[in-house]
Amino acid sequence: MKILSNAPEEPSGKVEKTEEEWQNLLDPEQFRILRQAGTEMPGGETYRQFMAQGDGAYHCAGCGARLFTSTEKFDSKCGWPSFYDPANAENVTTKEDHSGGRLRTEVNCAKCDGHLGHVFAGEGYDTPTDLRYCINGVGLSFVPA
């Protein structure tokens, strides 16, 4: 997960790029996750990094949109960065995902349509929403407060 010293500029509208432009902008792992709906290895370096981070905001690594903050972060012990609520709901969209033979709810960046992860409801976590936004850390940039 990239650490930024300043918040990236918020995109004013939809961010649309060609496949090639995204490939030039993102590193191969970011491209695989954000643009090809990939999933990072759980419990890896990115997760350890995430768990050690203090207060701050999480932005889309593709377009810079602010997505989550440390306020909504919680330890779900699932191995992926988890949040119970988006920081700025208009920057996060969800849609049905039927891949893998089961119905899940995919979480995307509203500005660039980048794949962030999935959201799960009603798992019994002791959070205000009982939602678990299970997010690939590779697709996020962290801006410490």
Active site residues: 134
Residues 46-65 binding Zn ion (CB under 5 A) are 60, 62-63, 65
Query: Minimum distance between the CB of residue 108 and Zn ion, rounded to whole angstroms?
Result: 8
Structure tokens at 91: 């920057």
CB nearer to Zn ion: give 1 or 65: 65
Determine the Cα–Cα distance for residues 14 and 65; give it in Å rounded to an integer: 10
Minimal distance, residue 37 CB to Zn ion, in Å: 14
Q: Please report which helix (H) or strand (E) contains residue 106, including its range.
A: strand 104-109
Q: Among residues 65 and 135, whose Cβ is nearest to Zn ion?
A: 65
Rounded distance between C-alpha atoms, residue 80 and residue 41, angstroms: 8
SS3 118: strand
- Binding part of the chain for Zn ion, among 44-52, 76-84, 96-104, 110-118 by CB under 5 A, reads 110-118
Are the C-beta atoms of 143 and 56 separated by less than 8 Å? Answer: yes
Task: Assess 143 for contact with Zn ion (CB under 5 A).
Answer: no
Please enumerate in sequence order all residues whose Cβ is within 8 A of that of 121, keeping only pairs 6 or more positions apart, or say none: 105, 130, 131, 132
Q: Is 35 in the site for Zn ion (CB under 5 A)?
A: no
Using rule CB under 5 A, residue 111 touches Zn ion: yes
Among 112, 131, 138, 143, binds Zn ion (CB under 5 A): 112
Q: Which residue shows structure tokens 């697709």?
A: 139
Cα–Cα distance for residue pair 33/100, rounded to 1 Å: 16
Q: Contacting Zn ion (CB under 5 A), which of 81, 86, 114, 137?
A: 114
Residues that bind Zn ion (CB under 5 A): 60, 62-63, 65, 109, 111-112, 114
